[in-house]
Amino acid sequence: MKFNEAQEQAIRHIDGPCLVLAGPGSGKTAVITDRTRYLIEEAGIHPANILVVTFTKAAAMEMQERFRTKMQGANVPCTFGTFHSIFFWILRRAYGYTGNQIVSEEEKRKILTELVQKMELEYEDEEEFIQNLIGEITLVKSEYMPIEHYYSTTCGEAEFRQLYQSYQERIQSEGKLDFDDMLVYTYELLKERPDICRQWQEKFQYILIDEFQDINHIQYEIVRMLSGDRKNLFVVGDDDQSIYRFRGARPEIMLGFTKDYPEAEVILLNVNYRSSREIVEGSLRMIANNTKRYDKEIRSEQPYVAPICIHELKSPAEEAQDIRKQIQIYHDRGIPYREMAVIFRTNMDPRRTVNALMEYNLPFRMRDHLPNCYEHWIAKQILAYIRIAIGSKERADYLQIWNRPKRYLRREWLPEGPVDLDRILEQVQDKAWAVEAIQKLNSDLNRLRKMAPFAAINYIRKGIGYDQYLEEYAKIRKMKTEELMDILDEIQSMAEPYRDYESWFLHIEEYGKELEEQRKQQVDFRKDQDAVTLSTMHSAKGLEYQVVFILQANEGITPYKKAVKPDEIEEERRMFYVAVTRAKTYLHIYVLKERYNKPLSPSRFVNEIRFDRSKLAVGETVRHRSFGEGTITYLDRKKIGIYFQKSGETRILSLEFVLEQGLLSC
């Protein structure tokens, strides 16, 4: 493989700290593996003294395999591994830990579920609640933060601290540790035992780290200790692709590397070998709006191929059908399905696209678990109202609605067997407020019985007061109300085509079966199988496709509504940058005019990707996709005049059209 000048510079770096800024498609994996080879073959470093670290087991195995290929299959004793595998090795040598002492994710969920139930904490969805707790425990440990300084967003501070301490006491009493403890214990060991730290410094004299932008606080402190006085840290990453803050990743660590190591050599891999020029230039225009980043000039090795297509459509239904048609067109042109991807911000976004692909039997695979929104706790409560309205007497259904919204009705008034509201009324005759609440509930249920599904959900929301209940719940849980309302809007929009409950319930059953079938197919999915990929922005990182479709590029969706602070908006922009740079040749971005009958605005990121108008001025040189290079001779709000050297003529063009279609570049 022939390397460019910047790649060669990185490969030949030997001693001292080095920061390699490696953007999308810049060949960073090849640089890391060849630098490892160079250290051994050219610099005479013993392979046992080299450590190559990355973040996932799959990435470590791929890196090791590529290195072995470079070394022509020779068994060279370099160490390739994840942070967790390396740190567990250190702990195993120091304390004799075994694999049986590691708390699995399943075991962690089980322990936390038991503790939550014992504390009788209130929540609507147990699975979601436990998952949020797990995420917060990881954050506390990755920051090496005293528990009293952490403020939970999942439950009250006192409850979270009690849960955290009870969880730690439980696993420690069993002599176990979880994956996050591996970091904490390794940090404490190396800090408290300089003799052990020196042993590992002698072992790992040259440390190479991939995806450095994803490192967290405690991982960084450990590798700094391991590098010791030699400071042979070779770190490779892209600050513009740091998108895992919710897991503890801190992009500011990479941005501050040269402050920690002023003598560090900084190398920019400035060629993108993956994407077309339009995609590279558009993505750079957008990401340049982030203020906390390394400034980079990146060029594409690929020619101009096609403009970035920005589609402005009315609704998600139109979007889904357009994507389905585009996929068929590209496939008819000879592009395999596996070279196409649909990318979205959250896994609730692609439901209509999934339906459209299923309807036309187009093969696809999900990189993420696509949730069945009918299994969400909000859907369960809405469906319970409707089941009771059409005759259900199940206690489980009544428990779902009894105090949603708040009616101050006691659970013990519901019998273990079939529920009869008239009998309950007889039992509470001495409580006027309870009689009034039950009579109102009975009246509401009678009204629901005669309605179509869409109207029924609307009545539950507005007439019964379910929207207000969600607002109060969001306030207690420190959530944005819009998050819950979006789920409710989605459920209501799915019900709209159905005229009666029978047909809607049949759809719910069939939809669940189709999703389950998809999940089974994902288990058996082979990498070489020809299918369109559907992925969240987070899961798409590291992948590439000939054709990429980005769903719902609207304010409130991307950037997500929860992102308010400047740092949060910058992370959302990095996510969009990751999505855009997955495309090699063709990029389609979809903008909706409305969703759930509510107007939407285009995402600020879309406007940033479009040509930078501030660069347009009379006398400036531009390039038109069809007419070549030219000089601007006239410019107003609607039109642009360009003299083209090749044809020797001036053309007056629609400014809006050439910018929207990506026909101009500087």
- pLDDT of 664 > 90? The answer is no
405 preceded by a cis bond (ω within 30 of 0): yes
Q: Give the other-Cβ count within 10 Å of 171's Cβ.
A: 18
pLDDT tens-digit series, residues 219-241: 999 999 999 999 999 999 999 99
Q: What is the mean pLDDT of residues 352-366?
A: 89
Going by C-alpha positions, the residue among 234, 239, 236, 231 that lies closest to residue 256 is 239
For 521, counting Cβ atoms within 10 Å of its Cβ (0-12 exposed, 13-18 middle, 19+ buried), the class is: middle
- pLDDT of 557 > 90? The answer is yes
Which has more pLDDT, 151 or 342? 342
DSSP assignment of 470-515 equals HHHHHHHTT--HHHHHHHHHHHHHHHTT-SSHHHHHHHHHHHHHHH
Q: Give the pLDDT of residue 269.
A: 97
* Alpha carbon distance 99, 177 (integer Å): 10
* Alpha carbon distance 166, 104 (integer Å): 17
Q: Give the pLDDT of residue 36.
A: 96
Q: Provide the CATH topology of domain 5-96+183-269.
A: Rossmann fold (3.40.50)
pLDDT band at 527 (very low <50, low <70, confident <90, very high): low
Mean of pLDDT over the chain = 92
- Cβ-proximal residues to 485 (8 Å cutoff; 6+ apart), any chain: 467, 470
Q: Provide the CATH topology of domain 103-176.
A: Arc Repressor Mutant, subunit A (1.10.10)
Q: Give the pLDDT of residue 159.
A: 92
* Alpha carbon distance 126, 104 (integer Å): 19
607 with 555: CB under 8 angstroms? Answer: no
pLDDT band at 24 (very low <50, low <70, confident <90, very high): very high
Q: Decide whether 5-96+183-269 matches 613-665 in CATH topology.
A: no
Residue 395 in tokens: 């206690």
- pLDDT of 519 > 80? The answer is no
pLDDT band at 524 (very low <50, low <70, confident <90, very high): low
* Alpha carbon distance 235, 265 (integer Å): 11
* Alpha carbon distance 73, 53 (integer Å): 20
- Percent of the chain exceeding pLDDT 90 equals 72
Q: Provide the CATH topology of domain 613-665.
A: Thrombin, subunit H (2.40.10)
pLDDT band at 525 (very low <50, low <70, confident <90, very high): low
Q: What is the mean pLDDT of residues 30-43?
A: 95
Q: Give the pLDDT of residue 349.
A: 85
Q: What is the CATH number of domain 374-505?
A: 1.10.486.10
3-state secondary structure (DSSP) of residue 646: coil
DSSP assignment of 372-439 equals -GGGSHHHHHHHHHHHHHTT---HHHHHHHTTSS-----GGGS-SS---HHHHHHHTTT-HHHHHHHH
Q: What is the mean pLDDT of residues 567-583?
A: 96
Q: Give the other-Cβ count within 10 Å of 374's Cβ.
A: 19
Look up the pTM and report it: 0.86
Q: Give the pLDDT of residue 637.
A: 78
Q: Is the dihedral of CA 430, 432, 433, 438 positive or negative?
A: positive
Residue with tokens 């391991």: 226
* Alpha carbon distance 340, 223 (integer Å): 38
- pLDDT of 644 > 80? The answer is yes
Q: Give the pLDDT of residue 125.
A: 80
194 preceded by a cis bond (ω within 30 of 0): no
pLDDT band at 389 (very low <50, low <70, confident <90, very high): very high
Residue 400 in tokens: 């779902």
- pLDDT of 528 > 90? The answer is no
Going by C-alpha positions, the residue among 99, 253, 250, 80 that lies closest to residue 182 is 99
Q: What is the mean pLDDT of residues 389-414?
A: 92
- Cβ-proximal residues to 431 (8 Å cutoff; 6+ apart), any chain: none
305 with 278: CB under 8 angstroms? Answer: yes
pLDDT tens-digit series, residues 298-356: 999 888 888 889 999 999 999 999 999 999 999 999 999 999 999 999 888 888 898 89
Q: Is the dihedral of CA 438, 439, 444, 446 positive or negative?
A: positive
pLDDT tens-digit series, residues 582-602: 999 999 999 999 998 899 999
Q: What is the CATH number of domain 299-363+530-609?
A: 3.40.50.300
Tell me the domain boundaries of the chain. Answer: 5-96+183-269, 103-176, 299-363+530-609, 374-505, 613-665
Q: Give the pLDDT of residue 88.
A: 96
Residue with tokens 């109102």: 440
